[in-house]
């Protein structure tokens, strides 16, 4: 419950600032990933949703790699706020 309220606070702050920023896009992809993951726990054989989840994960990974190259401090802050593991492929 605490994580969801934290995410909604970030969403409100980011929505007012810049919806095209890398952080906001990663945040939106993280929300979609959480929703699809909970959906797939109930519907294990929903292969089209599994494919969509993999595509969103790849998009988020590319954005995180970009942010890691451009600004390491913002990357570390974002990962710690969203509880995302750091990429192995750096």
Residue 1 has pLDDT above 50, yes or no: no
From CA 3, how far away is CA 50, in angstroms rounded? 24
The predicted pLDDT at position 3 comes to 56
Q: Per-domain residue ranges for the chain?
A: 22-82
Instruction: Give the domain 22-82 fold.
Output: Helix Hairpins (1.10.287)
Taking the model in full, what pTM does it have?
Answer: 0.77
The predicted pLDDT at position 7 comes to 58
pLDDT digits (tens, 9 = 90+) for 23-79: 999 999 999 999 999 999 999 999 999 999 999 999 999 999 999 999 999 999 999
- Per-residue CA distances from 3 to 27, 41, 44, 82, 83 (Å): 13, 19, 25, 9, 9
């Amino acid at each position: 419950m605490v994580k969801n309220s934290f995410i909604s606070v970030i969403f409100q702050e980011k929505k007012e600032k810049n919806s095209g920023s890398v952080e906001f896009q990663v945040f939106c992809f993280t929300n979609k990933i959480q929703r699809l993951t909970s959906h797939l726990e109930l519907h294990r054989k929903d292969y089209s949703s599994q494919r969509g989840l993999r595509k969103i994960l790849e998009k988020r990974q590319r954005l995180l790699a970009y942010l890691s190259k451009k600004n390491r401090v913002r990357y570390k802050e974002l990962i710690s706020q969203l509880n995302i593991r750091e990429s192995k492929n750096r």
